[in-house]
Amino acid sequence: MDKIARIDMGAAGGPKVTVAGLGDYAGLGGRAMTSLVVAAEVHPLAHPLGAENKLVISPGMLSGTVGSMTGRLSVGCKSPLTGTIKESNAGGQAAQVLARLGYAAVILEGKPAGDDLYKIVISKDGIKVIVDNSLKLMDNYPVVEKLRKEYGDKVAYMTIGSAGERKMLAASIACTDPELRPTRHCGRGGVGAVMGAKRVKAIIIDDAGVTMRPAKNPEAYRDANRKFVEGLRKHPVTGEGLPAYGTNVLTNVLNEAGGYPTNNFKTGQFEGGSKISGEAQAELEIKRGGSATHGCHRGCVIQCSGIYNDKDGKYLTKQPEYETVWSHGGHCGISNLDAIAQMDYMDDNFGVDTIEMGVTIGVAMDAGLAEFGDEAGAIRLLEEVGKGTPLGCVLGSGAGITGKVFGVERVPVVKNQALPAYDPRAVQGIGVTYATTTQGADHTAGYAIATNILKVGGDVDPLKTEGQIELSRNLQIATAAIDSTGMCLFIAFAILDQPETFQALLDMLGSFHGITMTGDDVVALGKKVLSAERDFNTRAGFTKHDDRLPRFFYTEPVAPHNVTFMMKDEELDEVFNW
């Protein structure tokens, strides 16, 4: 990955492609690349859907290699949903293919004046930007089907659905999986709307004629990767739990803990939880001839995804994730897996973030647009989004906008981004991350449970209140670093428990780049990324007062534990003091 492509969509005479060396961005990948480019090059007060914003697409530092779990793709910009800097990442094939073509980043700049819609074809022969108005307002599944007829099955596709073209703030960017289904989404923050604003419908990435990225020390890299894979396979989470049940295995556990937000965060337990659990979902998938074990990209050994078939055994959608099952399920009082899977498919097809969309429907239910538990009503609301009706455009702009339009008081957002599937009153520490992350409410911003290995910020006494602040800080630092490697965050479980697996990861990074990596280097990278992101947000006008949860979390106790969010503002303000 020795080059960066810049595509000026607003250039006089039509889009213009420039390819240059890495310059100041040498050695970066993934979130480090997207955030440092946006922080340096995008005016913090730019309109997110305007010509000044940039959409930065970057594979991780190890993407495109023979290394396992290296297939995450980061997309960054100024978010139209939050107004903050944004990094949203996904699996699928795109990162591996783009990295093998040598691109550390592809940056979409400017904005065309006309109404034409474009597709971008990236191959070893260069980059072509082509007008294709036949793709207008097509959704993700049909648009990929149409493109496959032209470009075949040996490429990766990145597309937006109708929601992205309509510049809905919940719009995502889809990346195709190994079966060329548009199921892996850079979902959070409205990155699809930014792509839509630049009038780019699809990016076709073709790595025919290129090979895997070579490591500086191939033998050491292969050896480190072998040890890394062994570590993942022997760990009970990455080697057993996730392959068997996927992330939805968390439903039963969160529900038991009283931390499962139900009926728009009114209570912490859902009576229908066991009906939509990962255990129930996996059994149903297998019974219908689908699969409970499937990788989102080649080279994945965890295989936490699956294939969800309908009652007739026909493909309906990929295995819905825990957060999706929650947002369209318990959050809306719905306990029918088929209805949830149907909405997962609709989200993927229209191109919207499943968390934002499910939370929005729950807020709409609080506004009286449907009853909690009304699965037909929820699907009907989602159909409005797909049709682009005025109501659909409101809903497609997320929970915050929907709450304002319909006068709902209980709106679970931070920096206008919907909260994920863990009630911060029951799990206070995750509330610290929701409140303070640079990205808006995001569970994955503090997800890399490797801080004890990294010794980020020193050891923490888990029995003290201030431990929660320290832990959130350390988790956010570790996550920013792992998001830059292109590694799936789920590797963190094996790293947490198995020092030899963490060492294998460091050895992979070191042997690939021909350097010696230490835990301190990883920490420094994470801090560098977070500092740039915080600085951008400050210049965009965000203050400590934006690092707060909505008031109802402080005033409404949640059952069964009857607790409120207890962290003091002054404690939250300490998270980024390092």
Partner 1 sequence: MKLETLKLHLNSDDLHLFFPLFQKGVTVPAIVGCTLKSLLVDQFAIPVDYVTDRITTIFLDNRPVDDLDRTIIQEGSRVTLSAAMPGLVGATMRRGGFYAALRQGISYAADSEKTSDTSGTVRLKLFNLLLAELAPTVLARGLILERDEFNELLRNLPPQTKHSQQDTGMILLTATF
Measured CA to CA, the distance from residue 403 to residue 310 in angstroms comes to 33
Nearest distance from C-beta of residue 275 to partner 1, angstroms: 8
Q: Which residues of 550-572 are buried (b: 16+ CB within 10 A; e: fewer)?
A: bebbeeeebeeeebebebeeeeb
Nearest distance from C-beta of residue 266 to partner 1, angstroms: 17
Query: Whose Cβ is closer to partner 1: residue 422's or residue 542's?
Result: 422
Neighbours of 211 (CB within 10 A): 8
Query: Whose Cβ is closer to partner 1: residue 254's or residue 332's?
Result: 254
What residues contact residue 31 under an 8 Å CB cut-off, 6+ apart?
A: 58, 74, 76, 87, 89, 480, 483, 484, 529
Query: Whose Cβ is closer to partner 1: residue 323's or residue 375's?
Result: 323
Measured CA to CA, the distance from residue 557 to residue 565 in angstroms comes to 8
User: Partners of 200 in the beta sheet?
Assistant: 118
Distance of CA 14 to the CA centre of its chain: 31
Nearest distance from C-beta of residue 474 to partner 1, angstroms: 10
Residue closest to 239 by CA, chosen among 247, 230, 251, 248: 230
Nearest distance from C-beta of residue 430 to partner 1, angstroms: 6
Nearest distance from C-beta of residue 340 to partner 1, angstroms: 17
Measured CA to CA, the distance from residue 106 to residue 456 in angstroms comes to 32
DSSP category for residue 545: G
Nearest 5°: CA angle at 413, between 411 and 418?
105
- Provide the binding-site residues for partner 1, judged by CB under 8 A: 236-238, 240-242, 244-245, 247, 249-250, 252-254, 256-259, 269, 274, 277-280, 283, 304, 322, 422, 425-430, 443, 446-447, 449, 451-452, 460-465, 467-468, 471, 475, 490, 493, 496, 560-561, 563, 566
Query: Whose Cβ is closer to partner 1: residue 210's or residue 284's?
Result: 284
Measured CA to CA, the distance from residue 28 to residue 553 in angstroms comes to 38
Nearest distance from C-beta of residue 429 to partner 1, angstroms: 3
Nearest distance from C-beta of residue 221 to partner 1, angstroms: 27
Query: Whose Cβ is closer to partner 1: residue 243's or residue 386's?
Result: 243
**Strand order of the sheet with strand 315-318?**
291-294, 305-309, 315-318
Query: Whose Cβ is closer to partner 1: residue 182's or residue 239's?
Result: 239
Query: Whose Cβ is closer to partner 1: residue 111's or residue 275's?
Result: 275
Alpha carbons within 13 angstroms on the beta-carbon side of residue 3 total 14
Query: Whose Cβ is closer to partner 1: residue 223's or residue 279's?
Result: 279
Nearest distance from C-beta of residue 424 to partner 1, angstroms: 10
What residues contact residue 222 under an 8 Å CB cut-off, 6+ apart?
A: 66, 215
